[in-house]
Structure 1
Amino acid sequence: MTHSTYPIGTPGKQWNHEDKAHWLACQSIKRSYQQEVVTLIDELKSTLEVQQYGELNYAAGSYPLYALKTTDFDTNKATVLITGGVHGYETSGVHGALRFAKTLANKYAEHFNIVITPCISPWGYETINRWNPDAVDPNRSFYQGSTAQESAAVMNYVQSLNTDLIAHIDLHETTDSDNSEFRPALAAREGKVNTNWNIPDGFYLVADSNKPEPAFQKAIIEHVEKVTHIAPSDENQQLIGVPQTQFGVINYAGRDLGLCMGFSEAAYVTTTEVYPDSATANPEECILAQVAAISGALDYIINK
């Protein structure tokens, strides 16, 4: 299935500054980062350390960026990074990170230092968008010298912690809007013809092909399927156009693609993909699936 046109730009030509400005002018605020995210972060100040690690400054306004940490960091413990909201529109990634912070982070603090950045792209959260205001995808921008403020800020913050990560769990969603809006927009921006992928009906994982850790991914899938259904592969044995390596798992080259999961040296990495548009899913189930993915990952490392 393809979309040959998009209402912005000239087919076959990459967007110029005017096209990007046109795209930005079409975006609007649809929900509040302050009311829906920051208020929940503030509620956790009595149990977790809250740090502001940066601020995004755009024409539309400024957005403070927050991290949550378990207290009393211990250099003898391994450190786990949990990231949400790299794509701000992927709601359960943000609220799954916050729910884990509220309900389970301190339980796992016996074994790990835990760092949570629940909403890396707050403008994207407010506008329900995959990109930032510069029409840049933060989840293709995790590399040295990144021009995406969101990506650069969290990478600098993690580096400032001066700790080695054992695991990095990056929380995402795959939505029907990937085909209706975001992939067509990407093709238009790049001056290419869009080819949509089959949207998987259910939860799946993206592992890093450079360190896939299949047993780790399998343990997460088994934990999540107690909460929500796992996406079956399509007729080509693929998920989003990529061959399935095991049930519910595909591999991407995280660092080569500039993905959030690829920027650290953590031994265990994964990207979750929840499907909120499923006929059998609801927002709470999606949040619980993200929490289950985190706890399944940490349980595996503890018991290994």
Structure 2
Amino acid sequence: MPTTLLQSNLPGLDLIHRGKVRDVYALPENRLLIVASDRLSAFDVVLPDPIPGKGEMLTQISNFWFAKTAHLVPNHLLDVPLADVLPAGTDLKLYEKRAVVTRRLKPVPVEAIARGYLIGSGWKDYQATGSLCGIKLPAGLKQAQQLPEPIFTPSTKAAVGDHDENVSFDAVVAAVGPALAEQVREATLSIYQWAAAYAAERGIIIADTKFEFGTDENGKLYVMDEMLTPDSSRFWPADSYQVGISPPSYDKQFVRDYLETLDWNKKAPGPHVPADVTGATAAKYAEALQRLANITVD
């Protein structure tokens, strides 16, 4: 059975960051322990109710993709047993599928987004300007239509509670320099194109996805955090996809749809979410994990 963890508690370890989903602890030898909780965020607000087992599913699918794409771009994972780094007395069962030991990297201050389809904020930008992050697109495209080729559409990294904002490639160059900006763009599109082809063979369209990158002390680039999960990507079932509508997806859309029915201003504190809604969301995550990675949730 999946475990449930709203917030990690690891006495003796230095908690350096608690994000929307992940808790990050410092380890000796320039390493990190990253724990994926079952916290749920929507509209950039962390909600009070967890999705049981979500952190386990996110970690397993990330680890699957990290392994599959290591030939394209190195990643932050280290092959270190959790039992070697968790404090004495910690329930290993609670953490074994949701925690990883990684390199401690210097984050590249940009959300690296690859888009293969016109949806979400990209669709809104296109409707308003005919462009996306400064990239001019053909006229007459429809919602959810596949783009002529995948594009790199970066955004700023917002603090918890704030919204990311799409920026141009020139803004990335200004922030990190031309060489690193080009490296991030190349890595983003390379992973996306490989993963999209892999998923297509399993009946799933990856409409878009977001990566995070970091560099080590020698400036070497790694992909880090999470990879190609339902939290960081739009996965669409290929058999129900059609142009002109927003397709159903393997993510927290059930939660977003429920929240849209409430009189809530999309600011903290977030409202409680009924068990049937969180349960349906968990089932969607589990289905994506099974179809993509052939991992079944007990």
Taking structure 1 as the reference length, the TM-score comes to 0.29
Name the TM-score, length of structure 2 as normaliser.
Answer: 0.29
